[in-house]
Chain A
């Protein structure tokens, strides 16, 4: 049996500055935060981050890791707007590739299916064609000659997701309400760059009984490395294992108020090894 168990630092070591990285989850839900924290501590820079964004994008922006964001929204759910992302956008610290959520879906699907684009009406008439130069207008080659938009396949270098359970080979399952786009992100990324962190690694023969068989949606064919990271989605929700740490999230959001506040938050919650972080959270 091939064991793919690695650490957050191993994931970081396989990434390079300038890469385009997809991050799974949605808003402040089931984000691979332990790996995000490790990236924040690393020397990586100039990343392009594709995300249904929450504090993953916010933390990476605040840590100066992001050159470009590919996103349809950035929210903390119970706090409607992601404050660190706002600062990064309003200060001009990052460039921007806005999309509709559905275009994110199509860009991932196109990449996973290895076609250059997928056609859609989504975006026609809006300012997306003004604000995102990667999009193109096309005409249907059939008799209808319809005007459509071509959503290009994302060119990912890596994808990072957090799942509730996994085996050591990368078969993984979500136990909460929604898989989000985790499977498509992993399928859209190239072999060698597909990482899953998980609350708990279980033997393969115990995996299916951890939940409903229909939640077993990540195959080892989509995964190159598995990080066992209990609490790894903190402070985002990882239902049903744990909910969002709303008090912590408020502190995180407040740290966008000034450079000093961010430095204090960073010192307290980023610049420490992940096991220490988890111990510190547990003792709060």
Chain B
């Protein structure tokens, strides 16, 4: 892990800087200052929560949790964050690692600001005061998500987690997705079971009626970021991570991703963000085990 002090101030790249060469220049800069793909992903996740204000940022998974905490520590200070169990935590340090005896991730350094048992989650979700970032075993061009089962649901080829909270999350609160390994078996033509609702189904319900609280906002993968800002809400390539090409993204998608004429490069972390990621949020560098370069 490189020393954040070695990162020159110029490493801060403004969001949305177009780069038709697939991010080559920024990739070179990222490599030069030792910024990893995992760190780019964390910033891309943080950007999903920009503008959310005083709601529960509920990213699930390591990179999402780091991104949510980074957003709160920088540009979105009003966000609330969980400890992954039954507490909302006011300080930004992450306390990862194996559960302590009793199943509690107790730490003397944790600043608890609310008791948040599982049942309280529905108060946040159903009132719209939550932005969840879930995973997906399959996701399609409209953001329909599946993590329940592969194959025929009645007797699946592979039983996965189940519907969990995906139907309720997607119909009630802002939802984004984190895909640590994008590929054509994840970005599929159609999902086997719709656990999380996508834009086409929400439109069929009525985006101004039954689905008026629906918003699948963003998909962040190890390769790129995506949104649904197209006329029919098909998934659109929003930015490529430094060093990734459009061809790689196309090869890693079984459906046709909308590719704009100009695709920006995902922004790099600022020196301040790098410091937070490396020294405060994830000093043990667990992030590189989820996304490698």
State the Cβ distance, B160 to closest chain A Cβ, in Å.
7
- Contact check: which of B101, B149, B164, B171 meets A124 at CB < 8 Å? B171
Are A102 and B87 in contact (CB-based, < 8 A)? no
Main secondary structure of the interface of A (DSSP, over half): loop
Interface hub of B166, B167, B194, B201 (most chain A Cβ within 10 A) = B167
Residue ID in chain B nearest A74 by CB atoms: B162
Taken together as a complex, chains A and B put the C-alpha atoms of A120 and B122 apart, in Å, by: 11
State the Cβ distance, A18 to closest chain B Cβ, in Å.
21
> CB within 8 Å of B: which of A71-103?
71-75, 77-78, 80-81, 85-86, 89-92, 96, 98-103
Contact with A along B133-174 (1 / 0, CB 8 A): 000000000000000110001111111111111111011100
Interface hub of A98, A120, A123, A244 (most chain B Cβ within 10 A) = A98
State the Cβ distance, B124 to closest chain A Cβ, in Å.
11
Are A181 and B197 in contact (CB-based, < 8 A)? no
Q: Which 10 A-B pairs have the closest CB atoms?
A: A237-B103, A239-B102, A122-B168, A125-B197, A126-B167, A177-B86, A73-B162, A89-B159, A243-B101, A102-B168
Q: Known A-B contacts: A90-B159, A177-B85. Give 9 more (CB < 8 A).
A: A85-B159, A96-B154, A102-B122, A102-B125, A124-B205, A180-B117, A237-B99, A239-B102, A241-B102
State the Cβ distance, B148 to closest chain A Cβ, in Å.
7
Taken together as a complex, chains A and B put the C-alpha atoms of A89 and B210 apart, in Å, by: 32
Task: Show 11 residue pairs from A and B whose CB-CB distance is below 8 angstroms, ordered by the A residue.
Answer: A102-B168, A105-B119, A123-B171, A124-B171, A124-B210, A125-B202, A126-B170, A128-B167, A131-B154, A177-B86, A178-B118
Taken together as a complex, chains A and B put the C-alpha atoms of A244 and B98 apart, in Å, by: 11
Q: Is A113 an interface residue (CB 8 A)?
A: no
Number of B residues whose C-beta is below 8 Å from A? 51
Are B168 and A125 in contact (CB-based, < 8 A)? no
State the Cβ distance, A217 to closest chain B Cβ, in Å.
11
Residue ID in chain A nearest B200 by CB atoms: A125
Q: Is A154 an interface residue (CB 8 A)?
A: no
> CB within 8 Å of A: which of B194-216?
194-197, 201-202, 204-206, 209-211, 213-214
Known contacts A89-B156, A98-B148, A100-B166, A78 near B193 by CB under 8 Å? no
Which B residues are in CB contact (< 8 Å) with A96? Answer: 153-154
Taken together as a complex, chains A and B put the C-alpha atoms of A131 and B161 apart, in Å, by: 15
Taken together as a complex, chains A and B put the C-alpha atoms of A125 and B159 apart, in Å, by: 21
Are B166 and A237 in contact (CB-based, < 8 A)? no
Are B211 and A125 in contact (CB-based, < 8 A)? yes
State the Cβ distance, B82 to closest chain A Cβ, in Å.
11
Contact with B along A129-143 (1 / 0, CB 8 A): 011000000000000
Which B residues are in CB contact (< 8 Å) with A114? Answer: none
Are A121 and B210 in contact (CB-based, < 8 A)? yes
Are B197 and A147 in contact (CB-based, < 8 A)? no
- Contact check: which of A73, A86, A241 meets B164 at CB < 8 Å? A73
Are A127 and B162 in contact (CB-based, < 8 A)? no
Taken together as a complex, chains A and B put the C-alpha atoms of A99 and B211 apart, in Å, by: 19
